[in-house]
Amino acid sequence: MTAQTTLRTTPRRLEIDSDGVAGIATQVPSPNCDARPAGTEVSLIVVHGISLPPGKFGGGDVARLFTNELDPGADPYFPGIAHLRVSAHFFIRRDGELVQFVPCGRRAWHAGVSSWRGLSGCNDYSVGIELEGTDNLPYRSAQYRRLAQVARALRRRYPIRDMVGHSDVAPGRKTDPGAAFDWTHLGRLLGARPTDGCATA
């Protein structure tokens, strides 16, 4: 009989380095970013939902949008958005894969006209995390686990105080991550109780 050894690998802990780069994320640099205002603390996480074309998952069009490579002729929906210069720090696919477009030390262009706790311009002081999904389809367990992992890593690196939806910082203008997003479940994963649709990381 031949002895067999089963090798067990421990998943790498997600850490955010001093530049704001997540070591286990696939890096896809976006040009749609700039410097944060001097002296600004990163204190907020904004959760978004996105799918391109809307309701279709698994393709590369979100990355193409965030890198200014979206073909306006590839889908009837695209001519209306291909000109946009937008980005997020992170994108979490349906299977939990983590993609990073902008280092957290820089300002990604994700929130637009926005405010939180009386402070406008949320892009200045927030990290934007896009989940592959829609407002009315349940997000997947792998996405919640990854989101919680990223939130904990961000909390270790920055003085994060709140975690909210895009709809919370741009009410009436944005609806994502939508009614399908389970803030209670996320709160349990983070060991916190969500309040008024918002989770504290």
Write out the catalytic residue numbers: 130
Distance CA 138, CA 182 (A): 8
Q: Residue 132: beta bridge partners?
A: 50
CB atoms < 10 A from the CB of 160, how many?
21
Burial of 128: CB neighbours in 10 Å, binned 0-12, 13-18, 19+: buried
Distance CA 185, CA 187 (A): 5
Distance CA 142, CA 159 (A): 25
Distance CA 43, CA 94 (A): 26
Burial of 11: CB neighbours in 10 Å, binned 0-12, 13-18, 19+: exposed
